[in-house]
Chains A and B, each alone.
Chain A
Amino acid sequence: MGTTIRRSQGGRLARRIGGRTLIYAALSVWAFIALFPIYWTVSTSFKVARDVTGSHIIPWLDFTPKWLGWRSLGLSPETIFQTSTVREEFLLRFFNSVVASGGAALIAVVIGSLAAYGLSRFEYKFGPWRNKDISFFFLSQLILPPVVLALPFLILYKELALLDTKIGLVLIYTLMVLPIVIWIMRDQFNGIPMELEQAAYVDGATTWGAFLRIVLPIALPGMAAAFILAVILCWNEYFFAALLTSTDAKTLPVMVASQTGSQGIDWWTMAALSTAAIAPLVLIGIFLERWIVKGLTAGAIK
């Protein structure tokens, strides 16, 4: 009797340990799948031709890291203080990406938060349109594929002299992320109890005063999450940038894409360029993971 119990406990323990091992094995496999392309790109940027053709993978063991790829970008230790046209080009594209994604995210968070607050607190009536319809109008922009807007915008921007300008890019990116920002922020404002403002109204605060002084500070984390998510989406955008920019306002994805298209480009140069292009986002992912998750799950999970 006693032995059978002990044996079944032992079996359960063994099964539990087996289960744990399986869980960690599965997690590790997926972590490998998720991380290997990034590792591959970073390591390839330090390779030379013979390491690429020999499919060497582990640095120092398989191959000796060289600065070849980074030198062609003008970003290796010995070229960093020399003038380099490639580096200037890269930095210009990088700067364009920063302005386009940062600017669009900022505008979208400002006007999106205002609209979300209004929709969460007041009763609107524009003709037959009520709050529900207005919210749906904003959210329905999500399904609009870029290709529908791209060609009309091409013609429109040509007429407005906004083609190949950062402002033009900022405007269309704002449009792209606005529905997502409104979705996130409406959820945030719905979660803030209305009693806070009512108390402020009793103390004589105006509508805007209560919003700016009471609600806004509480909603700041949500706004930060929305801002980060908007920056990520804009930073990675390619379709509009490829069609609407050519020389001046070209962003990083367009530069990367145009380099992959050319045949003669070396892997190490491409890898260095890709690494430099994804580095900011990988860092954002590592350090701001919590905020990204907060932004993505707002509104989707009730």
Chain B
Amino acid sequence: MQNEIASRAAADARHRAADAAVAKRAVAGRRLIRAASLGLGLVVLAQVLSATDVLPLGLATWRPTLFAYIVWSVALGISQVLIRGEQGKQALFLLPALLFTIAMVIFPTFFGLGIATTDWNLSSLTGVHFDLFGNIATLAGDAFFWNALLNMGYYVLSVLVQYGIAFGLALLLNADIRGRKFFRVAFLLPFMLSPVAISWMIGKSIMEARYGPAATLARMLGWESPAFYGVGWIARASIMTMDAWNWIPFIIILLLAGLQALPGDVAEAARVDGASPWQAFWKITFPLMLPVSVTAIILRIIFELKLADIVINVTAGGPGGATDTVSSFIYREYRDRSSVGYGTMLAEFYLILIIVFVTALLALASRWMRRVS
């Protein structure tokens, strides 16, 4: 009896000691993060003062702030473990990626919003002024920008054609064929090449008007003086062709994986029921493939909205802006006219449009999927 009481008291004491240790660690953790935050704040303050020439600290770059942020991030990780123990250790998994992304995205985005309200031009000698409304007015009246936006509509629609071709090829690859490994690798290769390399290999060499094989072929087919970038819609179709060549493998891979995951007995049952391959495809395979298809198309549209490299390197937006994408237009706005302020304004406006568009697309897709299934 007495023994039991004594041991319970000892256990209590141990618990209390452990609790005290935990509490002490938590206090240390809180102190650490407070000190680190204070240090970060001081560094930022010193930088701001130095940058605005209030204090001549002679800080040439903002690197001290960067290093302070890194130190603060490490302190945050340590303090999480000290304060929250096991939960803190679990947070350590997430923190590096989270802190990195926040630093790399949040800051430039807000910074970009700030730049977008100015008339900042790198070649201007008069400095930077607030000019939000001027930028908005220029944007509203910028026919080339709206034209580029319209082109994006065409480019996004071309994704559906790519999807159609890719679906056909995925079905062929999924058929019982010999040499599948060869075909799979051959079909994948265009995806491995950079748009810049494609710009030269196809855009400037194969589709060159005088000596390119595509021009030779077009001449043989009766097009007397082939020019792939002379007329607006032909130029756009040429860009779309190169883009499709580059990206169709991506869609093939997704769809092929989807096809291979389909249960085999479904197709078997359709054949036993006497359905023709055509019927079996539209009644069974295609509906079953809808989720994968929607994923592939949405991913592809998201990537298509970034289209720029091929346009920049092959046509530079020409002729007359017929092939321009929003990204390539803003790229030239910066490269040729150095207008950082207005270019950023365009980019932020485009970002808002993209977010609205993609959100609507996702909502539409999920609603439609629910109705179908």
Q: In the complex, which residues 35-69 of chain B have their Cβ closer than 8 Å to any Cβ of chain A?
A: 60-63, 66
Interface residues, chain B, with chain A CB atoms under 8 Å away: 60-63, 66, 86, 89-94, 96-98, 100-101, 104-105, 107-109, 111-112, 115, 168-169, 172-173, 175, 177, 182-202, 204-206, 210-213, 216, 245, 249-250, 253-254, 257-258, 261, 291-292, 295-296, 299, 302, 305-306, 308-309, 312-313, 326-327, 330-331, 334, 340, 343-344, 347-348, 350-351, 354-355, 358
**Are A40's CB and B331's CB within 8 A?**
no
Closest to A30 in B: B169
Bound-complex Cα distance A53 to B205 (A) = 11
Check if B302 sits within 8 Å of A143, measured CB to CB: yes
Chain A contacts for B175, CB-based, 8 A: 23
Q: Distance in Å from the Cβ of A96 to the closest Cβ of chain B?
A: 14
Q: By CB atoms of chain A within 10 A, which of B97, B104, B187, B200 has the most?
A: B97
* Chain A residues closer than 8 Å to B192, beta-carbon distance: 232, 278, 281-282, 284-285
| Bound Cα distance from A203 to B210, whole angstroms | 74
Hey, which bits of chain A sit against chain B, CB under 8 A? Answer: 23-24, 26-27, 30-31, 33-38, 40-41, 44, 52-53, 55, 57, 111-112, 114-115, 117-119, 121-122, 124, 134, 137-138, 141-156, 159-161, 171-172, 174-175, 178, 182, 206-208, 211, 232, 235-239, 242-243, 253-254, 256-257, 260-261, 267, 270-271, 274, 277-278, 281-282, 284-286, 289, 292-293, 296-297, 300-302
Q: Can you report 25 residue pairs joining A to B where beta carbons are below 8 Å apart? A: A27-B177, A30-B169, A30-B187, A37-B198, A38-B201, A40-B201, A41-B201, A52-B211, A118-B93, A143-B354, A144-B351, A147-B308, A148-B347, A152-B111, A178-B100, A239-B308, A242-B331, A253-B197, A257-B196, A281-B192, A285-B185, A285-B189, A286-B185, A286-B189, A301-B257
Beyond A111-B97, A122-B90, whether A144 also contacts B105 by CB under 8 A is: yes
Are B202 and A114 in contact, with the CB atoms below 8 A?
no
Q: B205 near A270 (CB under 8 angstroms)?
A: yes
**Neighbouring B residues of A292 by C-beta, 8 Å:** 188, 253
The answer on a CB contact under 8 Å between A27 and B202 is no
Residues of B contacting A254 in the complex (Cβ-Cβ under 8 angstroms): 196
A216 vs B187: C-alpha distance when bound (angstroms): 32
Known: A144-B105, A237-B194, A301-B295; 13 extra A-B contacts, CB below 8 A, are A31-B182, A53-B210, A112-B97, A114-B93, A142-B302, A148-B351, A155-B340, A175-B105, A238-B196, A242-B312, A274-B201, A292-B188, A297-B257
A124 contacts B94, C-beta separation under 8 Å: yes
Choice from B101, B306, B343, B344 contacting A146 with Cβ under 8 Å: B306
- B327's partner among A37, A239, A281 (CB-CB below 8 A) is A239
CA distance A118 to B88 in the complex (A): 12
Q: Which residues of A contact B197 (CB under 8 A)?
A: 236, 253, 256, 274, 277-278
Cβ contacts under 8 Å, A150 to chain B = 331, 334, 347
Establish whether residues B94 and A145, one from each chain, have CB atoms under 8 Å apart when the complex forms: no
Question: What separation, in Å, do the CA atoms of A277 and B296 have in the docked complex?
Answer: 29
B309 / chain A contacts, CB cutoff of 8 Å:
238-239, 253
